Chain A
Amino acid sequence: MFKYMKTLNYPVNIKKRDLKMAKYLHTQFGGSNSELAAALRYFSQKFSMPDEKGKALLNDIATEELGHVEMIATMIKQLTEGASVEEMASAGLGDMYSEHGLGVYPSNASGVPFTTGYFAVTGDVLADISEDMAAEEKARAVYENLIELATDKDVIGPLLFLRQREIIHFNRFKELYKYYKKKGY
């Protein structure tokens, strides 16, 4: 089960409104390489892991990813807080405003709703973990794109932190992959 701790995984304290950046950040909330896709992917795949190492690692990374979903959603909320309808429309967020107001909805940067079609559960340990490794690298690449788009250090700081977590998770998954391959899966 899950229990909530009343902190973020890493501090988010954005003082400057930036609606365009908020739009871009949606990709990591509800896009194909998003934290939400990561959390649900590992959460779902853990049920077919064959031994303790796989069960533990997928469970624990899935849990951490849910905290990253919360960080990204918090960044979007803080970047849009108090924005007027005119500001939203002129930043290209008119489409999102029409359905969600100033609410934070898991879509990609273009407003396409999140779908579990972004990830797979095959029941095959090697196939699933190879996807997990690729997912971490894709998310790292997306964070690097977002860092290039960002101008505010209050935005860049959390993005650098999240990028580094992708690197760690990739390393852990890669090691788990090698371990299962050696075991003959």
Chain B
Amino acid sequence: MLFENNDYDFDILSLAGLNFNRPQNNYYEYDNTNPLVDPQEGFQRGNMWRNEYVPYRGMTYEKLNPTSERESLLFKIMEMDFAVNDLNLYLDLHPEDNMIYEKFKAYTKECIRLKDEYARTYGPLTLEQTNKNSYEWMKNPWPWDKSGGSMYV
């Protein structure tokens, strides 16, 4: 049976008779000196971890090309926010990994800096950043809008 005899080391894909040529997903064995790709690359891939990236049938990820300075700054924020989130999930299980925690702190700091710059120049991304003379939080465009300046905010 699947879960008997302390059989916790099973590979769900091999049980199903499938082999996607996945890399070993054992975090204790990652390249200690360079386990992460940079936030821009990681964001476009959807994956910060060098040894966990599994492309689909050799398809490459989409390269993001910002069309304005506003969009360029927004993409940088989204990249940093993504990097913080992906390290966050890892650190939930490995709070003792100081090297990754240092990276996490650096990305978080940069993320806050970029968000402040965005809020000063273009408008608030969070409710707390809404502090100009007029109330800007509810202004278009919202992230799901297709029109109105930058497509994403």
Contact = CB atoms under 8 A, between A and B. Distances in A.
A125 B62 CA distance: 37
Contact of A10 (B46, B125, B146): B46
Interface residues of A, number: 54
Contacts of B125: 5-7
Contact of B61 (A57, A137, A160): A160
Secondary structure class of chain A's binding surface, majority of residues: helix
Interface string B73-95: 01101100110011011101100
Contacts of B151: 11-13
Interface in B23-75: 25, 27, 43-47, 49, 52-54, 56, 59, 61-62, 64, 74-75
A60 B84 CA distance: 12
A157 to B, nearest CB: 3
Contact of B78 (A7, A162, A176): A7
A6 B6 contact: no
B93 A6 contact: no
Contact of B77 (A7, A64, A169): A7
A41 to B, nearest CB: 16
B47 A167 contact: yes
B19 interface: no
Interface of B: 3, 6, 8-9, 12-13, 25, 27, 43-47, 49, 52-54, 56, 59, 61-62, 64, 74-75, 77-78, 81-82, 85-86, 88-90, 92-93, 124-127, 137, 142-144, 146, 151-153
A10 B12 contact: no
Contact of A163 (B12, B56, B78): B56
Contacts of A13: 146, 151-152
B153 A6 contact: yes
A74 B89 contact: no
Interface string A1-45: 001111111111110000000000000000000000000000000
B152 A60 contact: no
A56 interface: yes
B85 A172 contact: no
A161 B74 contact: no
A11 B82 CA distance: 12
B62 A153 contact: yes
Contacts of B25: 171, 174-175
B75 A176 contact: no
A124 B61 CA distance: 38
Contacts of B89: 57, 60-61, 64, 168-169, 172
Nearest to A55: B92
Interface string A52-81: 010011001100100000100110011001
